[in-house]
A and B are shown apart, each in its own frame.
Chain A
């Protein structure tokens, strides 16, 4: 009864909302204030992915987006080629993979076949959001989409 009355008069705690907003805004702030860290992370991310597939380093796009309750890192990494044998290229090697790679699944989140085509005309930045969604025919090239993962606040 008391609980019902509390809810009726809007007495549910807003401090938890404040806490949540504060946590998110500070994570975003800290990322903005540490561009070197973000760059280093981007580099490391690409280095790791490059061990498995050949990616277009020039067109990599990493953004951070505040979603409902999390801060998501969205990485759009166009794939140029996939090693047909599934051999892992040792780290530090950036050698080009055989160019006649057969269609192969690129990544779970990019279900289009990995055709050996360079990305078609670069889409306008506005479309970035849409490209995150699965199976969008607008995707110009196979792309690795890394998303999600709550980042903990770093001072």
Chain B
């Protein structure tokens, strides 16, 4: 198979030449709609912005979405199953990102089914990608069936995405049980609303992790700017001024081994908070 040369990836020579295998990390959650794809796109972008070579694999066969979040939908010509079945080479199928020169996307097949993926072929593909990229991030489909098993097949590590909801925590607990100790799952808490936590209307980071007891990579707030970014197909990790973008970059830094604190959304004081402080004294 033709191998991407270091200059094609625009990375310092030596990095891609190194025989060391890259890290294959599956992003999963059990429950759907908690932000796996957004997290994958942003962490991939943030890692690539740090200079690492990154391959993003959309393993959600039949429900392709990662290309949309990255704004690459018009560039996808071949997909994961084309590569697995030999209808296209890996290089033909890897889509270059618009913004990050060291980022590549392998899109999922939209008109196919998860059952069409052979687990062993998937494992071999991820192994090939590890030889060529520093990071291989695999966006897992929701559920714990074959699609999940295929997404996990080639990975050595796992990031679990959880929202502060009973159902999401329960599903993550199940997924972590299925993954076992081998994947050293790390936690990203997504869609936290600090104001609601403060009012006692939403599970807090501590509440969630008292149950899951996982190493915390970071916490992402539920911010309108994420929706805007997805509308545009531009991951927030690119935006220097966006607080959520900074949070994603901090998570990427932690993933890369930097000793930085886990990002935590601040509680902003609203007008009513201040009013409550005046009239009600200390708040519970």
Contacts and interface: CB of A to CB of B under 8 A. Distances in A.
Interface of A: 1-3, 11-16, 18-19, 21-23, 25-26, 29, 33, 153, 155
Contacts of B166: 18, 21-22, 25
Interface of B: 165-166, 169-170, 173-174, 177, 196-197, 199-204, 207, 211, 276, 279-280
B173 A26 contact: yes
Top 4 nearest A-B pairs (CB, nearest first) are: A13-B200, A2-B280, A22-B166, A15-B200
Contacts of B196: 15
B177 A33 contact: yes
A36 B38 CA distance: 39
Residue picked from B165, B166, B177, B196, most chain A C-beta under 10 Å: B166
Given A15-B197, A15-B200, 20 more contacts: A2-B280, A11-B199, A12-B200, A13-B200, A18-B165, A18-B166, A18-B202, A18-B203, A18-B207, A19-B203, A19-B207, A21-B166, A22-B169, A22-B203, A23-B211, A25-B170, A26-B169, A26-B170, A29-B170, A153-B211
Contacts of B173: 26, 29
Contact of A155 (B177, B199, B207): B177
Contacts of B201: 11, 13-15
B276 A2 contact: yes
B177 A16 contact: no
A22 B197 CA distance: 16
A3 to B, nearest CB: 8
Contacts of A16: 200
Contacts of B200: 12-16
Given A15-B202, A19-B203, A33-B177, A26 B211 contact: yes
Contacts of A29: 170, 173-174
Contacts of B204: 15
